[in-house]
Amino acid sequence: MVQEKDLFEIIYIASANRSGSTLLEHLLGSQDVVVNCGEFRRIGDFYSENKKAIRDPQNTTACTCGEKVSHCDFWSKVQSESGLDFSKDKFTSQVNAVNRLLFKIVFFLFGPRLTRKTANFYPPFALEMKSAKNCFRVFSAIHKLNKAKYIIDSSKMIYHFLLLKTAYPEKVKLISLVRDGRAVSMSSVRGERIKFFMGGRFAEGINVQSIRQRAFRAAVKSWVSITIQTLIFFYRLPSRERFFIKYEKLVTGLNEVFEEINSHLFDSELNANQKLSTEVSHAIGGSPSRFKSDFSEIKIDDSWRKYWTVDHKKAFGYFAAVLNSLLGYQQ
């Protein structure tokens, strides 16, 4: 269990997929005082190689070190130190959609401390707290083995952040990472990824163009929903416990963003000379081949603009367009 003497903090990255969280977690994870876990809530699926649950066709079941998670030296040591079993214990939500909605409402209205009290007499919330506490047993083990003061969890989902925040309110801070909704939606349906938004609609007789349009609309809706939910809970937190980053600013002004995050979330304990490392990391849900080479090459990926059509603009729609311009993206 997490005890008072465990002096570490969780920096949680919430974002939609395809928003640049890999770059951000790598930037922070390059520091000696930081360990980056990647999308930790999915450790069970990765450990058991549950490919169906992992879904993203681009993901392998490997740790970013290249080994399978079940064979990775880092995660083996962490598992045994934590006293948990990655194939059996739960690290993510275990309740249905109604109870998740209820959890969000209670958190929004009453904050983490009262939500935690509710878990004492409402069993579905107690179940959620059990998963969150399991996550902290693992974080505590990482802290013990690596002496890291900060642990990056980039599980992305804002709901999972709420679970961690409720279990240990004083130990978790939030980074909200956003990117131009057009870029996110276009990138989400590129290549193999389109399957993620198609459901079972491979049926014959439907023309390919209409499938593409529908998948694109689903990706837009998903971006809107994730972004709004994330912002609602972002602004619910005290300002010292949260930080807002735009992907585009991160890429074009890496030094500046680094300094801001450092002073706001890390008590200026990060080392500016250590900004990006090529050392092996042990993150869940990342791609092992990335960020091994030259970091001076990082540029905004705006290749989506080449493929952006009037149809896309129409499908992006009024609602997404308003949200996008509220975030400061010019139409």
The answer to the question of residue 72 lying near Zn ion (CB under 5 A) is yes
Task: Write out the binding residues for Zn ion, residues 175-194 only, by CB under 5 A.
Answer: none
Query: Which of helix, strand or coil describes residue 150?
Result: strand
Q: Report if residue 43 touches Zn ion, rule: CB under 5 A.
A: no
Q: How far is the CB of 172 from Zn ion (least distance, A)?
A: 24
Interface with Zn ion (CB under 5 A), residue total: 5
Q: Is 26 in the site for Zn ion (CB under 5 A)?
A: no
Nearer to Zn ion, 82 or 227 (CB): 82
Question: Is the CB of 63 or the CB of 138 nearer to Zn ion?
Answer: 63
Q: In this complex, which beta carbon is closest to Zn ion, that of residue 74 or of residue 196?
A: 74
* Nearest distance, CB of residue 72 and Zn ion, angstroms: 3
Shortest Å, Cβ 282 to Zn ion: 4
Residue located via tokens 């013990």: 144
- What does the block give as tokens for 318? 């009024």
Q: Does 63 bind Zn ion (CB under 5 A)?
A: yes
Identify residues 272-301 at the interface with Zn ion (CB under 5 A).
282
293 close to 35: Cβ distance less than 8 angstroms:
no
Beta strands in the chain (DSSP E): 9-14, 34-36, 150-156, 172-178, 242-246
Instruction: Annotate 179-190 with DSSP letters as a single string.
Output: --HHHHHHHHTS
Q: Dihedral of CA 104/325/194/315: which sign?
A: positive
CB atoms within 10 A of CB 288: 16
Least distance to Zn ion from the beta carbon of 213, Å?
Answer: 40
What mask, x for binding Zn ion by CB under 5 A, covers residues 236 to 275? ----------------------------------------
On the 0-12 / 13-18 / 19+ scale of CB atoms within 10 A, 303 is exposed
Nearest partner of 95 among 83, 103, 105, judged by Cα: 103
Q: Is 65 in the site for Zn ion (CB under 5 A)?
A: yes
Enumerate binding residues for Zn ion (CB under 5 A): 63, 65, 72, 74, 282
